[in-house]
């Protein structure tokens, strides 16, 4: 390659260097279990949360299952073995917050969320978003509870739902992602400490966006949260999750499970803006993000859409999926995944068509920079009885520089001949022509790259709720920010 182009690539490399602004540590006294995992630890977690008996049984069964399962070994990601005895499975701030009043919340916690741009005082919040803030293993605050309960919406930490609505939790927990589903789902079922629970009753359109904000603070602590969202017949909810963690040299494990259930005519929109600490330039530290997310469209005309913008984590392994059980049900997956430095992302979706006349859409945008490796792995499965299933998949990759990679693995399993599946894939680079064109119009190199990248992601961003689309754009900008010139 010519020297001029090499120079250009160097510039691009400098450009994608970033600082992780959420990398601070909150100095707060916490009560953390000593590292290690055995039945006793699980009993202690359950006892600490004063859980009903069925929950303890559920956990123990999952744990025994997990012990017999082999740790998965994935083709496109590469990391040192995790020592599960070296992780603490429970941590909570010492000063236990009462959830109804902010006065009891440790000011340091409030400050933490303020710094992250998520004020927990309702008057300061985005007027139309209710937030559940999860700090390490526990939920510290859920806002707008009253407004929501007037509409009949249940939005609370799952630990509390187990106290207040045990029958609902019991009815649905593990029905979409059973403990034996995979290694990390089993581990999560055994040790999960908190997460959000949402129930939207029949015919109710949730009056505001619901959102959970996850923060890992404690060192060597794994975060295993569990989210369960049920939209009853004809209900609608839009739910958002955001995640960050301090900058630490050790890797931290995040193994969450999210289950969505959409009954007849119900719609669930689930959006994620994930910005876990990605590790430094040399790949030191960062979060291992192994997540199982799945939704089931149980009834006719149910609809589930996953939208995700992922810029963080050292390793991301996740495939938000939709099981299209009901006739005429709809599944959607919109994803932007950015990897740079030594980040690795193996992400994609599974659309399982079972009902008749079901349709799914997959739009995946992968951006790789530095040594980042981005893999899209998608499965579209059409079972025997799924007459007239339709799928459209589009996977686009954008490369910044020439040491990163993009890989696309679309799998299709079709057992019904009436299926109509379409797949498109492109790989492109930001061209020098595009950069010069925008710079010639007066935009800095950084702004030009950001504009091109945002344009590339547009089809996904427009699926996000307004405020979060702006957030996601900013996040991408920050991720691409660096020493230019």
Partner 1 sequence: MLVIKNLHVSVFDTPILKGLDLEVKAGEVHAIMGPNGSGKSTLSNVIAGRDGYEVTEGSIEYMGNDLTELEADERACEGIFLAFQYPVEIPGVSNMAMLKAAINSKRKYHGEDEISAGDFLKLIREKADLVEMKQEFLKRSVNEGFSGGEKKRNEILQMAMLEPKLALLDETDSGLDIDALKVVSQGVNALRSPDRAMVLVTHYQRLLDYIVPDFVHVLANGRIVKSGDKSLALELEEKGYGWIDGLQKAG
Q: Could you list the residues that contact partner 1 (CB under 8 A)?
A: 2, 4-5, 7-8, 431-434, 436-445, 447-448, 451-452, 454-459, 485
Closer residue to partner 1, CB minimum distance, 291 or 449: 449
Report in angstroms the alpha-carbon separations of 314 from 240, 338, 362, 397: 22, 11, 24, 19
Nearer Cβ to partner 1 (387/459): 459
Query: Do 362 and 393 touch, CB atoms closer than 8 A?
Result: yes
The residue count for the chain: 485
When the beta carbons of 72 and 455 are compared against partner 1, the nearer one is 455
Q: Closest approach of Cβ 435 to partner 1, in Å? A: 9
The helix/strand/coil state of 132 is strand
Q: Tell the smallest beta-carbon distance from residue 209 to partner 1 (Å).
A: 25
* Nearer CB in complex with partner 1: 153/452: 452
CB of 365 to partner 1, least distance (A): 10
To the nearest whole angstrom, how small is the minimum distance from the Cβ of residue 445 to partner 1? 7
Q: What are the DSSP calls for 319-375, one per residue?
A: --EEEE-STT-EEEEEEEEEE-TT-EEEEEEEEEE-STT-EEEEEEEEEEETT-EEE
CB of residue 458 vs partner 1: minimum separation in angstroms? 4
Q: How many CB atoms lie within 10 A of CB 457?
A: 24
| Beta-strand pair 138-142/129-135 | antiparallel
Sign of CA dihedral 282, 286, 292, 294: negative
The residue among 11 and 280 lying less far from partner 1, judged by its C-beta, is 11
Q: How far is CA 375 from CA 209, 366, 407, 479, in A?
A: 31, 8, 5, 19
SS (H, E, C) 243-299: EECCCCCCEEEECCEEEEEECCCCEEEEEEEECCCCCCCCCCCEEEEEEEEEEEECC
Query: What is the smallest separation between the CB atom of 203 and partner 1, expressed in angstroms?
Result: 37
Output 223 or 473, the one with its CB closest to partner 1. Answer: 473
Smallest separation, CB 463 to partner 1 (Å):
14
| Closest separation in Å from C-beta 407 to partner 1 | 22
Question: Toward partner 1, which CB reaches closer, 33 or 461?
Answer: 461
Q: Which of 22, 31, 30, 27 is nearest to 108 (CA)?
A: 27
Shortest Å distance, C-beta 476 to partner 1: 13
Task: Between 230 and 438, name the residue whose CB sits nearer to partner 1.
Answer: 438
Residue 363: half-sphere exposure toward Cβ, Cα within 13 Å: 16
Q: For the chain, how many helices (H) and strands (E)?
A: 12, 23
Instruction: Please tell me the distance from the alpha carbon of residue 260 to that of residue 282, in angstroms, as a whole number.
Output: 37
Q: Which is nearer to partner 1, 208 or 457 (CB)?
A: 457
Least separation in angstroms between residue 403's CB and partner 1 is 20
Q: Give the distance from CA 102 to its chain's centroid.
A: 27
Rounded to a whole number of angstroms, the CA Rg of the chain reads 22
| Nearer CB in complex with partner 1: 280/459 | 459
């Amino acid at each position: 390659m010519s020297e001029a182009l090499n120079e250009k690539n160097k510039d691009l490399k400098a450009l994608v260097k970033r600082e992780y602004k959420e990398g601070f540590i909150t100095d707060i006294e916490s009560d953390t279990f000593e590292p290690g995992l055995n039945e006793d630890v699980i009993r202690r977690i359950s006892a600490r949360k004063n859980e009903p008996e069925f929950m303890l049984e559920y956990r123990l069964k999952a744990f025994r299952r997990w012990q017999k399962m082999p740790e998965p070994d994935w083709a496109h990601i590469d990391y040192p073995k995790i020592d599960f005895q070296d992780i603490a499975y429970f941590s909570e701030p010492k000063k236990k917050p009462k959830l109804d009043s902010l006065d009891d919340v440790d000011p340091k916690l409030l400050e933490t969320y303020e710094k992250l741009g998520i004020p927990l005082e309702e008057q300061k919040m985005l007027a139309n978003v209710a937030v559940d803030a999860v700090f390490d293993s526990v939920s510290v605050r859920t806002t707008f509870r009253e407004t929501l309960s007037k509409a009949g919406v249940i939005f609370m930490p799952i630990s509390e739902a187990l106290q207040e609505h045990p029958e609902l939790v019991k009815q649905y927990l593990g029905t979409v992602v059973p403990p034996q589903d995979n290694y990390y789902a089993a581990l999560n079922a055994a040790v999960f400490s908190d997460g959000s629970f949402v129930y939207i009753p029949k015919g109710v359109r949730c009056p505001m966006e619901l959102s959970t904000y996850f923060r890992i603070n404690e060192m060597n602590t794994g975060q295993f949260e569990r989210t369960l969202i049920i939209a009853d017949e004809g209900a609608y909810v839009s739910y958002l999750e955001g995640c960050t963690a301090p900058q630490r040299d050790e890797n931290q494990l995040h193994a969450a499970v999210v289950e969505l259930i959409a009954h007849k005519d119900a719609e669930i929109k689930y959006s994620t803006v994930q910005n876990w600490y990605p590790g430094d330039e040399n790949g030191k530290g960062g979060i291992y993000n192994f997540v199982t997310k799945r939704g089931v469209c149980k009834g006719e005309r149910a609809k589930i859409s996953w939208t995700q913008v992922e810029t963080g984590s050292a390793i991301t392994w996740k495939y938000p999926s939709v099981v299209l059980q009901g006739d005429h049900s709809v599944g959607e997956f919109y994803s932007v995944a950015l990897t740079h430095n030594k980040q690795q992302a193996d992400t994609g979706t599974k659309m399982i068509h079972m009902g008749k006349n079901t349709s799914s859409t997959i739009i995946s945008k992968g951006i790789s920079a530095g040594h980042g490796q981005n893999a899209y792995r998608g499965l579209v499965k059409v079972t025997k009885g799924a007459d007239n299933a339709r799928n459209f998949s589009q996977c686009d990759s954008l490369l910044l520089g020439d040491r990163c990679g993009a890989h696309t693995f679309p799998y299709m399993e079709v057992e019904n001949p009436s299926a109509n599946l379409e797949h498109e894939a492109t790989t492109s680079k930001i061209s020098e022509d595009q950069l010069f064109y925008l710079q010639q119009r007066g935009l800095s190199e950084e702004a030009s790259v950001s504009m091109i990248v945002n344009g590339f992601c547009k089809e996904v961003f427009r699926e996000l709720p307004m405020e979060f689309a702006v957030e996601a754009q900013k996040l991408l900008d920050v991720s691409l920010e660096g020493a230019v010139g």
